[in-house]
Amino acid sequence: MFGLYIFILYAMPSLLGSPELASKLSPATGMKKSLGADLMVLFVHILPAIIMAASGLLQLFPQLRKQYPSFHRWNGRVFFVLALSGAFTGMYLTWVAGLRLSDIGAMGVSFNGMLIPIFIALAWYTAVTKRFAAHQRFATHSFILVNGVWFFRLYLMGWFVMNQGANGNTNKIDGPADIAISFLCYLLPMAIVECVLFAKRSSKTSVKWMVTMFASLGALITLIGVGSAVLLMWFPRIQSVFDAL
């Protein structure tokens, strides 16, 4: 859904000769005043996410990893390159182009961006040195970090739905709930990954059940967030594109 949203909001207007429409309808702020180099960086940052969304998901299937190892390796390289590009262009857009609502509100996504190259380097190094258990661990964390902005949208929309409106949120994304979500949106899934890996190593049934409940809670939060983001954020903007075209 996120990949489709990106394609319709950003790629379709450009392909149909109306790139200014993407800038007009984009939720991003700070770019409205310019259609120059910063807008080009925005497109370079956003459009590869369509490929990266599919590329990252394909890395998670055990059958593909076992039956098509060459595809897994090359697809992983594509994912890593696009992820690094997204991290660096994202930091540029946030702190150079001014694509942020507030300084404190941008701290969570900036820390997310700084962690991406670190975990990608660890995932690559452990793959090259054939430490595949460690590689899977770091690659999974890389996948979560790269999708941090996706998780943020899900958590934020899910938070609005559960509270029937804003609660600790501001228009500049610098309220206490906003700041907490900007960090938890990737730290919580990463914590779940570590708990799952710990449960796999543990021989205690109680540990496995506790982690199962914790992971199920994370899945429920994600499910609520996906439904909320589709209905409240993505679908209305997709409809706006079709109305404008």
State the total domains in the chain.
1
In this prediction, residue 118 carries a pLDDT of 97
In this prediction, residue 194 carries a pLDDT of 96
Encoded amino acid at 187, one letter: L
Please give the chain's pLDDT, 245 residues, in tens.
888 888 888 778 877 877 677 767 766 654 454 556 676 777 778 777 778 888 888 998 999 999 999 999 999 999 999 999 999 999 998 898 887 888 998 999 999 999 999 999 999 999 999 999 999 999 999 999 999 988 998 899 889 988 988 999 998 889 999 999 999 999 999 999 999 999 999 999 999 999 999 999 889 988 988 998 898 888 988 888 888 87
In this prediction, residue 29 carries a pLDDT of 54
In this prediction, residue 27 carries a pLDDT of 67
Alpha-helical regions (H) of the chain: 2-6, 12-15, 19-25, 37-46, 48-58, 62-67, 69-95, 107-128, 132-146, 148-163, 176-201, 205-229, 235-244
pTM beyond 0.85: the answer is yes
In this prediction, residue 28 carries a pLDDT of 61
Residues of the chain with pLDDT > 70, as a percent, come to 93
In this prediction, residue 105 carries a pLDDT of 87
- What is the span of the domain harbouring residue 6? 2-244
- DSSP line for 14-63: HHTT-HHHHHHH-S--S-TT--SHHHHHHHHHHTHHHHHHHHHHHTT-HH
Say if CB 80 and CB 63 are below 8 A apart.
no
Q: What is the pLDDT of residues 63-93, one digit of tens each?
A: 999 999 999 999 999 999 999 999 999 999 8
207 burial type by CB count under 10 A (0-12 exposed, 13-18 middle, 19+ buried): middle
Coil, strand or helix at 171: coil
